[in-house]
Copies of this chain bind each other. A is one copy, B any other.
């Protein structure tokens, strides 16, 4: 019985890694579509979001099945509950990647990002791809050292997010209203990637270390 349960937990973990890899790819492609005004790539990201949604549903069903069949308690129970929450978080990261792609598609053939904010978004893209990669790695290895790196990436995204506001509020800002809207929304999407990654990192850390405070210290992983 225990062996079956362990195998099922392993499958849950594998499912989360699969989801996370898809999210990583979506974030990477969405950012490229945005920065290169690549309509086809944007379209691909939008079209493939349903695969992430589908994995979430399958994973959730597996969790419910596991709870019903195995009635886990203590740590085992928390692992299953955490898997449910992590899958919801990854699904939202996929949505955010889709939103970035939607902005890119909506402005095509123009660039969505105003020239004065471009460099900041190149850095945000880089940080988001990095944090998504770290998240997949953390889910694969459970190496909680990675959690600290994810927090750093999130801090970096927060700083870059502030930079977008500074750029738009500078006297030199000559963006159109559309460009101001887009930079505002895109900045928020990128900032949220970091928040969600931190949420996943804290849940994993909690599972590995049993330190409950870390799990609930996720106030930044909001909305």
Contacts and interface: CB of A to CB of B under 8 A. Distances in A.
Given A68-B73, A68-B77, A216-B57, A223 B95 contact: yes
A113 B195 CA distance: 27
A53 interface: yes
Given A180-B177, A181-B165, A67 B67 contact: yes
Contacts of A64: 77-78, 81
Contacts of A216: 57
Interface string A162-198: 0001001100010101101100110011001000100
Nearest to A165: B181
Given A64-B77, A81-B84, A192-B223, 5 more contacts: A68-B73, A95-B222, A169-B178, A177-B180, A223-B223
Nearest to A91: B222
Interface residues of A, number: 39
A156 interface: no
29 contacts: A64-B77, A64-B81, A67-B67, A67-B77, A67-B81, A68-B74, A81-B84, A85-B88, A88-B88, A91-B222, A92-B222, A92-B223, A95-B222, A95-B223, A96-B223, A99-B223, A168-B177, A169-B177, A169-B181, A175-B177, A177-B180, A180-B180, A180-B181, A184-B185, A185-B188, A189-B223, A192-B223, A196-B223, A223-B223
Given A64-B78, A223-B95, A180 B169 contact: no
